[in-house]
Amino acid sequence: MRCLFCKQDSSGSKSVEHVVPESLWNTQHILPRGVVCDSCNNYFARKVEKPFLDSQAISRLRFTQVIPNKRGRVPPSEAILLPGFPVVAYREASTPYTLSLQTSPEALKHIANNKKGTLLLPINAKPPASRTVSRFLAKMAIEAMALRLLEQPDGISYLIDEPQLDPLRNFARRGQPQEWPHHARRIYDADRELLDLDGHSYQTVHEFDYLVTEKQEWYFIFALFGLELAINIGGPEVDGYMEWLRENKERSPLYSGKNAP
Ligand SMILES: [Zn+2]
């Protein structure tokens, strides 16, 4: 058995690989052990997923939407208790409507004296660097292909030996080339609620698919709480995607063509 990224023998590898990180509520899209070797798995966790997940914008998204990591912890958020006391706010997935605050004795005194307080949670947050997002997408794009080909007899070997995937593989695993742009836009509000057939409301956390354009360019499209991200699997440019969007009335490939509602 060989690794999808470094192509080395991975027969002794022990960890399964989450295509979308566990810390984004993925319990579904998982590659069995050995498809990605332990060393690549570990590298991705530290150098590709962590910078994305720990960025201010994603960690705030996880706070707002109460998404715990695999140890059950939701990232805390900085906040301000008026008139200006700094506070750290904590939430727990088991009690999503409760906020716990860590603050100074002065702030506690202020609350005690006034019997109430106003807490301001910051809205704007710095997004992860473009390159961080692109590498995160590159890793998922290749792994999501493997997920689809798992059941095919030579599916994974084909992916490993496909030279057209080597540039994207190198970008995910080694950070070369330096730049590989992606396309980002919002396709629905992060708080959008949908109803299932039984009338229960739910939110879409993440969804992904591929788009093959008329020019035979392959794109991986991933949406996280309505933020749609697209990367070209064949090379570092997104012009073909923008052209496809113009020709398709800016609809998302996740909701048009074969995915039309
Ligand atoms: Zn490897």
What is residue 173's predicted lDDT score, i.e. its pLDDT? 98
Rounded CA gap, 10 and 14, in Å?
9
* Mean pLDDT along residues 98-114: 89
- Tokens representing residue 232 in the block: 């070209």
Q: Where are the domains of the chain?
A: 68-120, 127-259
Beta strand pairing call for 227-232 and 183-186: antiparallel
What is residue 124's predicted lDDT score, i.e. its pLDDT? 79
Q: What band does 222 get if pLDDT is binned at 50, 70 and 90? A: very high
* Mean pLDDT along residues 18-40: 94
Distance 46 CA to ligand 1 centre (A): 14
Distance 161 CA to ligand 1 centre (A): 14
Distance 4 CA to ligand 1 centre (A): 6
What is residue 97's predicted lDDT score, i.e. its pLDDT? 85
What is residue 190's predicted lDDT score, i.e. its pLDDT? 86
39 Cβ neighbours under 8 A, 6+ residues apart: 6
Q: Could you give the percent of the chain with pLDDT greater than 90? A: 72
Q: Tell the residue number behind the tokens 């923008």, with chain if given.
A: 242
- Tokens representing residue 182 in the block: 């992606």
Distance 43 CA to ligand 1 centre (A): 9
Distance 54 CA to ligand 1 centre (A): 24
CA dihedral of residues 153, 26, 222, 163 (deg, nearest 10): -30
Distance 148 CA to ligand 1 centre (A): 19
* Mean pLDDT along residues 83-92: 93
Distance 90 CA to ligand 1 centre (A): 37
- 108: pLDDT strictly greater than 90: no
